[in-house]
Structure 1
Amino acid sequence: MISLKSALAKPFAARVKRSVLKWANNPIETQEKVFQHLISEATSTVFGKDHDFISINSHADFVKRVPVRDYEDLKPYVERVVEGEKNVLWKGKPLYFAKTSGTTSGAKYIPITKESMPTHVEAARNAILLYIAETGNAKFVDGKMIFLQGSPILEEKNGVQLGRLSGIVAHYVPKYLQKNRMPSWETNCIDDWETKVEAIVEETLPENMSVISGIPSWVQMYFERINQKTGKKVGDVFKNFNLFIFGGVNYEPYRAKFESLIGRKVDSIELYPASEGFFAYQDKQKEKGMLLQLNSGIFYEFIKADEFFNSSPKRLTLKDVEVGVNYVMIISTSAGLWAYNIGDTVEFTSVKPYRVIVSGRIKHFISAFGEHVIGKEVEQALKEALANTNIQVSEFTVAPQINPSEGLPYHEWFIEFENEPNNIPQIIENIDKSLQKQNSYYLDLIKGKVLQPLVITSVKKNGFQDYMKSIGKLGGQNKIPRLSNDRNIADALTKLKLTK
């Protein structure tokens, strides 16, 4: 019997789909409107006056007046906002600061404003509604839904509430989903991740779970606990679980492990949320990439990744991007971030409509020898190497070994296998072949005997969890970088007595 809630979801989804298609089919015009609105609204702010916004009429004007900045460069303005000053980056004061962990700058305070907050909520909602519109599957709205997230308890700083983005968003769950939402508020407020996961398992085991959402590495931890506690596959425990919503990392390296833990395939929706904005979501089950959100108060620019560190790289707008090129994504937003480098690299899979995949981080690459290997390449290499095998990987990261005790330098792959393979040399050969095929610089270094083929270091069970716990980043939105250009993570993992 169809419930009223699931029956109403379908026409609502159809209406939202029509609205999305309206801007998705007029991308350049939509972005121009966003650009003009942002400049107009911020003309009288401190930042707007400092950068002569009143004289900006085009993207070319904007490029002349507003340089690309990362958080460190924007920090003098952000600090004035944090101190309570109004009209600095955006009119008035922000509603929230999303507190994130910075690598060089300590804690980062990303403003979220009255104008930008609804775009986060609307994009998450629309991702689910477009799934309903495409598949006709709305039964899951009657079951329980879980999102593994940070604590919703917020602090206050000079009259502005402060917390993790996922904790802030928890305050915006629509009323019609409140009864379906898991875990309880009390459980969500538990700080210690392991304690929290145990409490979530206890709360959810008796429930009719239909949607599970979160960063794959932490959902995996939850699934493993369910397996351990019940001796059953997740899909047998939750018979109506048929939709997995994820973001933050590429799902492909986890897919085989998840299907083993669940015991069957389930549909999935990929999201691309960040504290700085909700940038994209998967709008089609069988199309690669996520629909770029062009009508969400975000103006996008793109710089070719291999030109990014040049003295004055060209800043492209949407009309100039190409499929298959690796770009650094630059954003200007209704939260007051201007020509802001969030650090992500993206690749377009389609320009009709504009869909992207996240290819990596501009700071997360290996180029110790000029090879410039990126996250997408190592993920693809591992996927190809393990295709048609029953080998499952829980987690991995890659780092250069510049000064080996003997022989040529190499890339060291730290991999936590779910089931330790007995054919490591073959896996090494397969990964290396794939990397050489994808990256001509790496191929030249191997052929030129500058590098030897990669080395795999097998990580003990739960080794990555132990590492994240040791640096105080277990759970929440934290995730291990796929690769690093230094040995900081690699040396820490080695010190945890990982086995070869």
Structure 2
Amino acid sequence: MGIINSILTWVMQKRIHQIELFMKYPNEVQDELFRKLIVTAKSTEFGLNYDFASITSYDQYKERVPVQTYEKIYPHIERMMRGEQNILWPSEIKWFSKSSGTTNARSKFIPVSQEALEDCHFKGGKDLLSIYLNSCPDSRLFDGKGVAVGGSHQINELDPTASSYYGDVSAVIMQNLPPWAQFIRTPRLETALMDNWEEKLEKLARETARENVTNIAGVPTWTILLIQKIVELENKRNILEVWPNLEVFFHGAVSFAPYRAVFQSLIPSDKMLYWETYNASEGFFGIQDQKNSDELLLMLDYGIFYEFIPTEDIASDNPRTVCLRDVELDRNYAMVITTNSGLWRYNIGDTIKFTSKLPYRIKISGRTKHFINAFGEEVIVENAEMAITKACDHTGAVIDNFTAGPVYFDEGRKGSHEWVIEFKTPPGDLHEFTHILDSTLREINSDYDAKRSHNLALIAPRVHCVEEGTFYRWMKKRGKLGGQNKVPRLSNSREYIEDILKMVQETQTT
């Protein structure tokens, strides 16, 4: 083991004791953090409006401050983007993380304070390495370099002083990384932050192919494209012929289950590890802390105070919330956060469920606006990913991407769901694939099963197989290549389905 690997591994593992402390005393850590956030922001405009100085308990806080959506908080953020300060948070805000906006067409801009960069995003990245190295003591992670597939950033044109910036959260983090972190990553920063994805992919591939890469971090979709490009340029059979010391892929943003077979074909090694994270524009929330697990440890000392909305209250204008100590296992909640960037009781739009309370571990179950419920079936992303994974497993299929939406009632026609799926390896029998997809949804979702019973409200789903590259062309058409951009898995409207099918039809007729 190299000297650099030994030193950095020792440094990283020193953090484990602190992680164990918040695992042991989670509620005390969250209570202390809550008080610190309130006191720090009491003299901001937001803090003065809600009289933070007189808030002494969580109950007072939730009675006084309403749960915020992006639409509610945006007027404050817009003023901050125009250069005003001390609105939501006392320290100067120079960076804004641009959300990919999977729940609607408009991008969202999330303030990123220096505290959030250091105590949340950077800390999360270091903890990811600490936890991984603690679980894998024989790792040689730092004998080589890490590849991060990120986005881009630009000057905030709303700011008359031109002293603030916005971009994908990956780009914001990468631009501000400390020197030691820049030293252990590849490619060059100017390449990593290019905004033209197709040109960037070529340069990423050429630069990183010559490095000793031991780890990759990124969204599965774009990482697959990078690996495929490198294998093609190097004329190799798989990426291990280019990066023989590759040992782990740190992934997040979307469920990994549908992509596992693709990665196993690109990285044919039973020693390769896949490590999940839960980070977003709003903060770094969870890290897989056990080998071969699909549970995430909720990180409690990152400057984020957590609340949770039971799913039955999500649509309410004044939803009921509970704090960490009152959550129940295996129940879906929408996650609400208060952060050291000035997000106050902000509903981030994700749904999670707790699998453990000592320590607090979670699974991501979907999006509050990312579902199909046109007929009362309440199909969430977690359901869809479980069903499509099982259908692939049973038919030998391998998927690249998918999305689904409803087919509404029409004269003489019952409703159904319509799926558009891009296969890397298509199933031998599409009818069997569709049957397993449908029957699995019925097994895991009683509302869907009730609507499908005797074709009462829903008939069997329709599945469209589209050629490879379809979703790439569609994302390019929408201006959402690379970075943190993700294909929307489910929609309660036909917007995405019809747009993709229209594009496919136009391609076939030209």
Report matched runs for 1:150-229 at 5 Å. Answer: 150-151=151-152, 154-155=155-156, 157=159, 158=161, 159-229=163-233
Q: Write the distance in 1 (CA, Å) between the matches of 2:289 and 2:467.
A: 37
Q: Write the distance in 2 (CA, Å) between the matches of 1:43 and 1:123.
A: 26
Is 1:128–2:97 an aligned residue pair? no
Q: Write the distance in 1 (CA, Å) between the matches of 2:105 and 2:490.
A: 20
Aligned to 2:87: 88
Q: 1:155 to 1:76 in 2, by over 3 A?
A: closer
Report matched runs for 1:454-473 at 5 Å. Answer: 454-473=461-480
Q: Write the distance in 2 (CA, Å) between the matches of 1:166 and 1:85.
A: 25
Q: Write the distance in 2 (CA, Å) between the matches of 1:460 and 1:161.
A: 38
Greater shift, 168-177 or 489-498, is seen at 168-177
Q: 1:83 to 1:174 in 2, by over 3 A?
A: closer
User: Contact between 1:85 and 1:93, CA under 8 Å: does it hold in 2?
Assistant: no
User: Contact between 1:436 and 1:443, CA under 8 Å: does it hold in 2?
Assistant: yes
Q: CA deviation at 1:183?
A: 1.2
TM-score (norm 2): 0.93
1:491 partner letter: E
Is 1:278–2:284 an aligned residue pair? yes
Q: Write the distance in 1 (CA, Å) between the matches of 2:154 and 2:213.
A: 25
User: Contact between 1:121 and 1:172, CA under 8 Å: does it hold in 2?
Assistant: no
Report matched runs for 1:318-329 at 5 Å. Answer: 318-329=324-335
Q: 1:325 to 1:374 in 2, by over 3 A?
A: same
Q: CA deviation at 1:381?
A: 0.8
Q: Write the distance in 2 (CA, Å) between the matches of 1:112 and 1:311.
A: 27
Report matched runs for 1:44-59 at 5 Å. Answer: 44-59=43-58
Q: Write the distance in 1 (CA, Å) between the matches of 2:317 and 2:124.
A: 35
Q: CA deviation at 1:336?
A: 0.4
Return the match for 1:381 from 353, 378, 387. Answer: 387
Three-state SS of the structure 2 residue aligned to 1:117 is helix
Alignment RMSD, CA only? Answer: 1.8
Three-state SS of the structure 2 residue aligned to 1:278 is strand
Q: 1:11 to 1:179 in 2, by over 3 A?
A: closer
Report matched runs for 1:76-475 at 5 Å. Answer: 76-102=75-101, 106-118=106-118, 119-151=120-152, 154-155=155-156, 157=159, 158=161, 159-229=163-233, 230-265=235-270, 266-403=272-409, 407-447=413-453, 449-475=456-482
Is 1:5–2:22 an aligned residue pair? no
Three-state SS of the structure 2 residue aligned to 1:413 is strand
Three-state SS of the structure 1 residue aligned to 2:96 is strand
Is 1:38–2:45 an aligned residue pair? no
Q: Write the distance in 2 (CA, Å) between the matches of 1:20 and 1:172.
A: 24
Q: 1:390 to 1:264 in 2, by over 3 A?
A: farther
Q: Deviations over 1:250-293 (max 9, x none)?
A: 11110011101112241122111111111111111134311111
1:267 partner letter: L
Q: CA deviation at 1:33?
A: 0.4
Q: Write the distance in 2 (CA, Å) between the matches of 1:465 and 1:496.
A: 12
User: Contact between 1:400 and 1:485, CA under 8 Å: does it hold in 2?
Assistant: yes
User: Contact between 2:93 and 2:114, CA under 8 Å: does it hold in 1?
Assistant: yes
Structure 1 gap segments, 5+ residues each: none
Q: CA deviation at 1:387?
A: 2.1
Greater shift, 388-397 or 171-180, is seen at 171-180
Q: 1:174 to 1:405 in 2, by over 3 A?
A: farther
User: Contact between 2:153 and 2:165, CA under 8 Å: does it hold in 1?
Assistant: no
Q: Write the distance in 1 (CA, Å) between the matches of 2:445 and 2:316.
A: 20
User: Contact between 2:41 and 2:88, CA under 8 Å: does it hold in 1?
Assistant: yes
Q: Write the distance in 1 (CA, Å) between the matches of 2:92 and 2:236.
A: 51
Q: Write the distance in 2 (CA, Å) between the matches of 1:461 and 1:290.
A: 32
2:339 partner letter: T
Q: CA deviation at 1:15?
A: 1.4
Greater shift, 243-252 or 401-410, is seen at 401-410
Q: CA deviation at 1:165?
A: 1.5
User: Contact between 2:370 and 2:490, CA under 8 Å: does it hold in 1?
Assistant: yes
User: Contact between 2:395 and 2:433, CA under 8 Å: does it hold in 1?
Assistant: no
User: Contact between 1:271 and 1:290, CA under 8 Å: does it hold in 2?
Assistant: yes
Q: Deviations over 1:22-47 (max 9, x none)?
A: 11210000000011111111111111
Number of matched pairs:
498
Q: Write the distance in 2 (CA, Å) between the matches of 1:384 and 1:153.
A: 42
Greater shift, 328-337 or 197-206, is seen at 197-206
User: Contact between 1:301 and 1:331, CA under 8 Å: does it hold in 2?
Assistant: yes
User: Contact between 1:152 and 1:189, CA under 8 Å: does it hold in 2?
Assistant: yes
Is 1:16–2:15 an aligned residue pair? yes
Q: CA deviation at 1:109?
A: 2.2
Q: Write the distance in 2 (CA, Å) between the matches of 1:26 and 1:51.
A: 29
Structure 2 gap segments, 5+ residues each: none
TM-score (norm 1): 0.95
Give percent identity, aligned residues only.
36
2:110 partner letter: I
Q: 1:101 to 1:7 in 2, by over 3 A?
A: closer
Is 1:65–2:64 an aligned residue pair? yes
